[in-house]
Amino acid sequence: MVPRSCPIAVGTAKTVDSGARRGRMSNVVRTRRPPVFLYDGDCAFCSASAGFLERRAPTPGTEVVPWQFTALEPLGVTLQEADESVVHVDEELHRTYGPVAIAVLLRSSTSALWRIVGRLLGLRLTLLVAWPVYRWVARNRHRMPGGTATCSLPAADREHHDPSDAEPEPQLQSH
């Protein structure tokens, strides 16, 4: 599921999934109930940004999770869409992407300040600037703090760890 060579992989992010908040890490792909905000859990910059948003701009009811641990098909999200940008899926399965998704997430925050930031980010004029900046960051995320060359690869080209490939644990024999 997660590249072995990416430093933000399972075990280092504090916001990997709902189990992580209780101190457990999980790499199980789960069906999520919208609203959900999906980000690239293989990307250190994306994971740090998602963690920042969860801590500073709480959005009760919206799960902020890596797409790698989420069943995408029930949400109507393709692997390519999830790999190219953050995705927000609302209760009606309406999907928004990139800075628009971030604006939607921020507008649902319990913090008035972050709701205002979300409204400002969602303005057409702001989005004219936000989209090129977002695309540049997305293309260069491997150069951001904590990023690796593996994190820059498209999802289809990454070396994924499949738990079923693991060596079976030796069985203790009782005599």
Number of helices and strands in the chain (H, E):
7, 4
Question: For residues 37 and 118, is the Cβ–Cβ distance under 8 A?
Answer: no
pLDDT at 141 over 60: yes
pLDDT at 153: 56
pLDDT at 128 over 50: yes
The confidence band for 125, taking pLDDT boundaries of 50, 70 and 90, is: very high
Question: For residues 67 and 77, is the Cβ–Cβ distance under 8 A?
Answer: yes
Of the given ranges (69-73, 150-154, 166-170), which has the lowest mean pLDDT?
Answer: 166-170
Q: Convert the pLDDT of each residue in 29-56 to its tens digit.
A: 889 999 999 999 988 888 989 999 999 9
- What percent of the chain clears pLDDT 90, i.e. is strictly above it? 55
- Cα separation of 141 and 139, whole Å? 6
In this prediction, residues 67-87 reach a mean pLDDT of: 95
In this prediction, residues 158-175 reach a mean pLDDT of: 42
| Sheet containing 87-89, strands listed edge to edge, beginning at the edge strand earlier in sequence | 63-66, 36-39, 87-89, 95-97
Contacts of 173 (CB under 8 A, 6+ apart): none
Q: Convert the pLDDT of each residue in 144-155 to its tens digit.
A: 876 666 566 555
- Cα separation of 163 and 159, whole Å? 13
